[in-house]
Structure 1
Amino acid sequence: MGAVKNKRMPRAVREQQMLDAAVRTFGQRGYRSASMDEIADLAGVSKPLVYLYLNSKEDLFTACIRREAAALTTAVRAGVQPGLPADRQLWAGLRAFFTHTAENPDGWAVLHRQARTHGEPFAAEVAAMREELVAFVTQLIVVAAREAHRDPSLAEREVAGLAEALVGAAESLAAWANATPGVSAKQAAATLMNFAWAGLGDLMENRPWTPPQD
């Protein structure tokens, strides 16, 4: 009798292997410099199989963005426990964000550097992820306003602006932390928490900073 053939690897598992290899390659080499040959070799498959599963380099990169964006937003949401005080919720969300970006530097490079700098359709994918994060942070700030016995609709536009600023700061700080030896996810989260919460605390207590009269 002939040797028993190995079972074929399920398509979903094989596809994840390809995405793992692609994220690593795109994250470290950049979208333009990365080659499908290199990705196929790293994944341990033939280049035609990569094209069969994921159609093109553009579609492969888009799939990487979507997977990494979903993983990041899921990690942040999972890190926050509803019912905790507002500062603890924000701290947990920031720590989850920085932990994920530190543990997945190639994925973060794909989202933060590569996707944004190569135009559409990639930039739109990252923008959708960012909108979800901003909406989530907005709700955390609204919770803080309620805890401070302030009108949560007090400054809808102001709250939205604060959420945008906080997410933008987190993105920049994550890139800096990943490039700076010795900076842990906890340290990065604490840096932003100290910067943000002091200002938010004053705002929620009706002590906003007022610009000088020109």
Structure 2
Amino acid sequence: MTRRRVPKEVRERQMLDAAVATFGRLGYRAASMDGIAERAGVSKPLLYLYLNSKEELFTACIRREAAALAAAVTGAVDAGESPERQLWGGLLGFFTHTADHPDGWAVLYRQARTTGRPFAAEVDVLREGLVEYVAGLFAAAARDAGCDAALVGREVTALAHALVGAAESLADWAGGAPPASGERPEPKDTAATLMDFAWPGLEALLARARTPGTT
């Protein structure tokens, strides 16, 4: 009997899955290519054949997990909804994905940010994209409220940065040690907490900045 050959894309996914789990649980420095190869069920030379070094493998993990998180956020948003409902959908998508993929989130939030600049820069690309996306939702709300363009380019961007930072911190908290009750919060509850914090603040900001004569 001949051994069935595993397709290249399937083998690559298996190796990346193993690498994300290893990096997420052990950290970049403690993880080894031997351990990742063993977890993936491949030889170490084969792992190096697909990805030339530990650094390249870690970068590939960061990029894959960042793309998956961004897709989860944008995919949870209905473009036909109001900016408020779009923000809710994006937050729910964010917290659901980070809860369902704790190793991937650990790679992005804990490992990549603290291991070194080349890796942190990869996460910066993700964060900038999320900030731009949230700022766009806030800008739409500002226009609907009759606010001037100066607000859209200044306070709205600052608030988007604050919200993304708060979402990252809450996702890390929610995925950490469970509280005294022994239960981690549900993604919808975490999303609601941040929504209750962010949207009233935006509405207060818009109320102060409305152009005279608008309602």
TM value normalised by structure 2: 0.92
1:51 to 26, 36, 48: 48
Matched with 2:213 is: none
> What pairs with 1:127-146 in structure 2 (closer than 5 Å)?
127-146=124-143
Tell me, yes or no, if the aligned pair for 1:75 and 1:100 is still in contact at 8 Å.
yes
Q: Which of the residues 50, 66, 69 maps onto 2:66?
A: 69
Shift of 1:149: 2.3
User: Is the contact between residue 79 and residue 96 of structure 1 (CA under 8 Å) also seen in structure 2?
Assistant: yes
| Matching residue of 1:196 | 198
SS at match of 1:60: helix
In the alignment of these two chains, the number of paired residues is: 205
Identity across aligned pairs (percent)?
Answer: 62
Q: Is the 8 A contact 1:86 1:147 kept in 2?
A: no
Q: In the alignment, is residue 118 of structure 1 matched against residue 120 of structure 2?
A: no
Letter in 2 for 1:27: G
Which runs of structure 2 are paired with 1:174-213 in the superposition (5 Å)? 174-179=171-176, 180=178, 181-206=183-208
Q: Could you list the per-position Cα deviations for residues 113-165 of structure 1 after superposition, in whole angstroms to 9, with x for gaps in the alignment?
A: 00000112101100011111111011010111122222344341211111110
- Which of 2, 6, 9 is 1:12 aligned to? 9
Q: What RMSD over aligned residues (CA atoms) do the two structures have, in Å?
A: 1.4
Map of 1:212 onto structure 2: none
After TM superposition, the structure 1 = structure 2 runs for residues 89-108 of structure 1, keeping only pairs within 5 Å, are 89-108=86-105
DSSP 3-state at the match of 1:205: helix
- Structure 1, unmatched stretches of 5+, are 209-214
User: C-alpha deviations, 1:71-128, integer Å up to 9, x for none?
Assistant: 0011111111112111111100000000000000000000000000011210110001
Query: Which of 154, 158, 169 is the matching residue for 1:161?
Result: 158
Q: Decide whether the 8 Å contact of 1:22 with 1:39 is kept in 2.
A: yes
Residue 85 of structure 1 aligns with which residue?
Answer: 82
- Cα displacement (A) at 1:202: 1.0
Partners of 1:57 and 1:199 in 2: CA distance: 44
Counterpart CA distance in 1 for 2:152 and 2:87 is 19
Which runs of 4 or more aligned residues in structure 1 lie more than 3 Å from their structure 2 counterparts after TM superposition?
none
Q: 1:172 aligns with which of 169, 172, 187?
A: 169
What secondary structure is seen at the aligned counterpart in 2 of 1:50? helix
CA shift, 1:18, in A, is: 0.2
Query: Is there any run of 5+ residues in structure 2 with no aligned partner, and where?
Result: 211-215
Alpha-carbon shift at residue 182 of structure 1 (Å): 2.3
Distance 1:10 1:97 in 2: 31
Instruction: Give the whole-Å Cα distance in 1 for the aligned partners of 2:140 and 2:114.
Output: 35
